[in-house]
Structures are given as C-alpha cells and as structure tokens.
Structure 1
Amino acid sequence: MTGTRRLRPFALLAAFGILAAGLTGCAAPAGTASTSSASADGLEGSITVFAAASLTATFTELVDAFEAEHPGTTVALNFAGSSDLVTQITEGAPADVFASADTKNMTKLTDAGLQQRDPVDFATNVLEIAVPPGNPAGITDFADLAEPGLQLVVCAPAVPCGSATAAVASAAGVSLSSVSEESSVTDVLGKITSGQADAGLVYVTDVQAAGDAVEGIDFAESGEAVNTYPIVALKGSAEADVAQAFIDYVTGSAGQRVLAAAGFGAP
C-alpha cells in the first residue's frame, strides 16, 4: 500500500497524565472544566482509513483536527485510486473506513457486503484541465485536448477521474488520445509538474492543492460528470466507535468547512 500515514505515539501524553495524578492540590475547582488530556467523551482506539487520492490534503488536515479533539485516538491514512483501494479491501487488507471518489467503486464494496451500514455522501467534485505554469501549449478549452501532438495525461478508465474523463469526452463529442493513463489523480499531476505532459485532467481540488506548480483551466463540459464521494465504516472493525466518530466528523460542520475550503462541492 502507498501513501500510508504512520500512527503517532502518545507516550508523552501518558507521562503527563501520570505526573498530574501524582500531584496534590491540583484538582479543578468545583464548577470548572477539567484539563485532562483524555477525550471528554472517552473515545479511544486506532483506525485505518482508506481514502481516494484526491482526498490527500483534506483528510490529512481532518485527521490532525480529529486527533486533537479526541486525544485517545490515532488515525492512519492510506491513499490511492478508489478502484485500487476497493481491490485491497476485498482481498483482506485491514481497514476500518473507506472513502471513495465515486459511487461506482463504493458499490463494489457494498455488493461484497463489507460495510457496517449504508455509505454516506460527503462531497462532490468536478474535473479541471491542469497545465504547466505559463500554459506552454496554449490550451483554452476542452476541445484543445484533442489537438494532434499534444502530450495529454489522463486517469485510467477504472479510476473515478478516468470514468469522469470518458463521460465528459463523450458528452462533448471530443475524441481524446492520451500518452499515458494513470492510476490516480496524483500520478497525473506528477506527470504535469515533472514536465512530462502538456496537460492532464484532474479534479478542481487537485489543481487548487497544487498551488503554483500547475495552472487550472475550467471548461463548460465539466458539469457533465460530477463525482459524488461516499464514506463508510467497514464490517469487522475492532474500533467501530472510532470509525463512526471519524465519519461523523467528516460529514459534520467541521469536516464540511475543510472540504469546502479545498474546493469540494456539497454532497
């Protein structure tokens, strides 16, 4: 698996807790809030979240905030293309939560009966053309991606961004010829930023997250393929309470603010 975020040790927090317990006269006065390092709701446990590559920046931020709010928890992240993640899960990879970049791959998981309950939609996304700074190829619209000799990179058809690309091309009546089909949007961006391609099709959020490394070009046809992102807790999780609490955080007001700031649409 790629893109794993390591669990962080909490030995220092435990040591502080022992020290505080050994001190006298330090109890919080009546009517004041406790400053214990433990979560107020007592939530504890470690989970692993498998998430679509286009969620890398937002879920990393959300995990930091979630762990800060629930100090007894740790969350490991594994990012890849949604189709690859489903394959890993169905083949027995240990995971507690799955967040997909489309409903098609989530359906593969639910058809296999691997969910604890029904998935919940938490975001939407659309495609945008990504080009190197300065736009050397002079691309202005979607039709320009079919120009002969253009070095175009797209996602593979099995990946949500690849499926969206095919849908947009069909709706626009444009035949695309790519030099490479990648397994995730991050791989497409890598081809652009490394100078190996003139253009690529990724999500609006990926262009925003890339900052000055790429330029984004909106196109009217992007509305023909709006991807909906669902999330679900997986059956057999040893930390079902933590898994559901993380899902509630992503779908709640705090999570939705982070996702909106990154360019995601409402579910």
Structure 2
Amino acid sequence: MAQIDVSDLTIEYKLPKSDGVFKAVDSVSLAVEKGEFVTIVGSSGCGKSTLLLAIAGLVKIAGGRISIEGRDVDGPGQDRSVVFQEPSLMPWSTVLANVRFGLQMRRWKKDDITERAMRFIKLVGLEQFSDYYPHQLSGGMRQRVNIARALAVDPTVLLMDEPFGALDAQTREIMGEELLFIWERDRKTALFVTHDIDEAILLADKVVVMGRNPGHIKDVMQIDLPRPRNGEIVDSPQFVEYRKRLRRHLHDDMAAMQLVREAV
C-alpha cells in the first residue's frame, strides 16, 4: 500500500456572486511510496498547490479520497508538516524559539525540546544563528529555519509549496542542493511543488506533471538518476532528455492557453 494515496480527487470552489462552481482539480489519482521525493510541476493555475494543500488537509475536497498510511485525510494532522513559499516565522522570536514553538505545539516533552530544536537548527547549518531574529537573516536562511521547524516535529510526510520561489536563482540552486543533503539523512516522504523544471528533476524520484482547465495529471515521470545529486548533474544527457520532455508538456499547455485567448 502506498504511503500517500490520492484517489479520483475533485476540488471545487464556489464562484462569487453566482451559483456556479470552478473545478480546480478533476479526477486526480496519485500514489506516493514511503521515502519517495515527488515534485509537482505545471503551468500557472493547473492546481498543483491546491493538490498539495488538500493533502495537507487545508483544502476541502468535493469528491474522491486522500489517505496517508490507510487513514483518511479530513484536516491538518501531526503526520504532516508544510513549508510555504513565504517563511511563516514569528518575527519577535529567535531562530531557536521559532523551532521550539513547533515542538511545543505538538506537545513534545519539555526537557527534550531545546535539545531537539538545536539538533535540527544544526542540520540546516544555522547553529551559529540560533539567537538571531528573522529580520537579521537572509531569505534563504529564513527558509532553512522553516525547514528545520517542519522536520523537528518528525512528520510522516513533508509538504513544500514552492519554498524557494521567492529566492534569487543562485540562492535557489544552493537551497535545492542543501535540501537534498538534509533529505538524504532520513528520507522523509516529500511532496514539493515548483514551477522550475530543473529543480523538479534534480530533487525528484518522480515528477508529476499537471495540466489545467481543470487541473489533472498529464504524466508521471520516473527520474532514474543516481543519488546523491548536485547541480552538476543538470548537464548530463539523461537530465537533458527529462528537461525536454517536461518542456514539451509545458509548451503544449501554453499553446492551448493561447488558443483560448484567441478564441475569446
């Protein structure tokens, strides 16, 4: 049995000032095995973030089923941690206090909290910054704190919604390699939404490609590249072939969008 099982998922939103509905995701099925790193890509508006947030239990579903280890998802749960694009840190608290807070909310033993928080702060390379406040950190460092807080509570599944989307290209590349290093330590099951093709391939065991109108899965690409990986692998012939395949999918979506605009 897959660790995450999404079956025939449909998500709808009521349209404002009307009785109509907008179908954001339609008949999506996806299986994620324990320890897999899965990335989700697609053009803007294809429902990739909506799918992730539904797995997080933060979006109500209209039909189908989501389960984790056989248990239905009907809201947020302690088995999942979410990292968003914008670091959701408490500005009045230090790095250590921010990571401790996640553990306190999960009711970890008081005597273990500081030691565990520091262990994950060290894991993301911020041990010397534990007494700093968020405004004293760069964007990449703030996102490392977010990742440390998410991992410290020992989730079954780590969900990331474009966590590096607000970073510059160089910092984004560095963060991707650092995330792989962190993930290699215990291989948490991870779902990662991104619009960056190279990032999607570099991180993933498999890439889920979503199409739009309504959101659906167009392809699931198994990524057969050796681990551990770093940025140098992007120049390999196999990586280039994966990139071409993803670009064709996204180009088809953009072409379809253009036809719709012309028809209107």
Structure 1 length-normalised TM: 0.23
- Higher Rg of the two aligned structures: 1
Structure 2 length-normalised TM: 0.23
